[in-house]
Structure 1
């Protein structure tokens, strides 16, 4: 059964179709109908593994040409790849009334979304996430970006999709490591503002990643995010809460040089955010310990010396955090927590204390 979740943004609102068979359910959706053409921007690995499934989503909409392949990995989120993709889109003579079909994980979705936002000052994009992480987070909310040497996602814009199709069939070939990494974004939603949801996750244990429970957990997480995005589309206020764990996580991911998956970095970042909150006396230590214990139970490592890419440098991590896009007034801005399900924005982190905290965590 396919779930439908509405992202309520008025005229820019859209549906998220979620579950087994979501591709079939989307065939007659208004976003895919009409006479306009669709340019397919697809992850090269997804095309190789799911050619017949990709053909399903292409069965109906008029195609502008063969799929434009996006290389695997974070290195594809660059100006060089963006320029190449835009050039291929121009060669297809796409018009503003046409649309982009973005088929792949977070890298493809971010890059394709930004390309759609820039092409002739904007055209529609339909997100078809193929990883659990992209389904839970990056495909919903309209954030698009590429990376810079100074950090992740520093160049981008907000460009909402016209439809999101999260078909569970794509998860069949997803490696277990990537499934676990994607699960971190589901846990994040509970930690931000839904203590009851976190308790349900705890009760499900490692079974939370099985098909029997995953759809319900994912629906809860997306519905939670939809409410925040609807209230604060461009991250002027409370939407920044969705970055819980990400300031620490992005620093780890950048320093790991590709050895660490985004979701793995977020999981470690969630544990760090709760531990730092406890260090400051803002969060009960038992909640921080509970968060770390559940993430470890879900197969997500949280101790910095145990992460791929270790050992890390506290000084280098802090420097990465100084360049985080959420910072304001020259101060490091963190999302911390008063407890499970009670996150808040901490605007002026003390850099010296943060450095000492990171040194303690790295030992």
Structure 2
């Protein structure tokens, strides 16, 4: 088993990574939670494959368990769904001595995490991510949130879990689209911090070879994120590097109402576009965007921006959380594995965006 200790100001917590870890989940939860009642929040897709299994495993370890199933998809990361979850928690008479398990992908982890952070002013949380994107990124670092109609993750909090349990075998039930979606975030880690990881990803011959070594890839990505989070827990400095490709990516998701492109696909286009901009500005090594393009093609991720309305994108970007005072932080890379934050005056954003969207 791989393990990583994330040292946060609100308390350290472990990340455990092991093939088959779900089978041991009852015993593992007992090690960190001495209470009796557990609420599992999951989505309709995960529930079909693993819903009954996780309930049985937890009950087998003596826990009284409840389950809340939300509709799969980004639309569940909303106040409407959040209120439904709150109602269920009240129906179950959940109190601050109980615990919530977020069992699903990024949407479930973010929304259930936000519910845990806010219901009764805070209930303990465990993350059990089931998608590659959630395993390498969204389940780690304590960011929880819901979307607003005008933008993604605009209402949220920093709320660290008691533990994160990652079973890479759960990825075997993912279809190729969702696996590739997660690879968008994996590629991001290589691009911003680890050229060796990036080069390793370029060498995998097929999906089977990738999945054979996926536990090591997850461990590498989680280690990178843990180090960054420890240095900048509240996302005011270095942690912004994790948003490489996300400013444009979130805008693309929003523009197409979260229906046409997945998060990883949108971030992929954002990474290529922002890297091409860096080359045009003379601050990114020439040829880097072509390298990004090659790896995106390898993992069946889009790279070219679709036709989008510049003004609509500008409106979305104006609400971006990386806007601070009169400037915005763009994440650029000098070369593969070397990233930095570039402050751009808000008055110049339109000029930069016109270079990207052309």
Superposition TM-score tier, normalisation by shorter sequence: over 0.9
* Map of 2:87 onto structure 1: 87
Whole-angstrom distance in 2 between the partners of 1:79 and 1:35: 29
Cα 1:200–1:138 change in 2 (3 A) is same
TM-score calculated relative to the size of structure 2: 0.93
CA deviation map 1:36-56 (0-9, x unaligned): 311111112211122343235
Question: Of residues 312, 331, 339 in structure 1, which corresponds to 2:335?
Answer: 339
* Map of 1:174 onto structure 2: 174
CA deviation map 1:296-351 (0-9, x unaligned): 1121111123xxxxx32222112211110111114332111111111111121522
* Map of 2:12 onto structure 1: 13
CA deviation map 1:140-159 (0-9, x unaligned): 11000000111100000000
Cα 1:56–1:283 change in 2 (3 A) is farther
Whole-angstrom distance in 1 between the partners of 2:208 and 2:131: 16
Whole-angstrom distance in 2 between the partners of 1:354 and 1:209: 40
Which range moves more in the overlay, 120-129 or 27-36?
A: 27-36
Q: Secondary structure at the match of 1:338?
A: strand
Root mean square deviation, CA, Å:
1.8
C-alpha contact (below 8 Å) 2:144/2:157 kept by paired residues: yes
Which range moves more in the overlay, 342-351 or 252-261?
A: 342-351
CA deviation map 1:23-78 (0-9, x unaligned): 2344333555423311111112211122343235423252343x111111111111
Q: Secondary structure at the match of 2:337?
A: coil
Whole-angstrom distance in 2 between the partners of 1:278 and 1:63: 56
* Map of 2:220 onto structure 1: 220
Cα 1:10–1:214 change in 2 (3 A) is same
* Map of 1:328 onto structure 2: 324
Whole-angstrom distance in 2 between the partners of 1:14 and 1:208: 32
Which range moves more in the overlay, 190-199 or 248-257?
A: 190-199
Whole-angstrom distance in 1 between the partners of 2:53 and 2:172: 11
Whole-angstrom distance in 2 between the partners of 1:110 and 1:25: 24
* Map of 1:22 onto structure 2: 21
* Map of 1:235 onto structure 2: 235
C-alpha contact (below 8 Å) 2:204/2:210 kept by paired residues: no
Q: Which runs of 5 or more residues in structure 1 are unaligned? A: 306-310
Displacement, 1:352? 2.9
Displacement, 1:139? 0.6
Displacement, 1:11? 5.9
C-alpha contact (below 8 Å) 2:277/2:356 kept by paired residues: no
Q: Which runs of 5 or more residues in structure 2 are unaligned? A: none
The count of aligned residue pairs is 353
TM-score calculated relative to the size of structure 1: 0.92
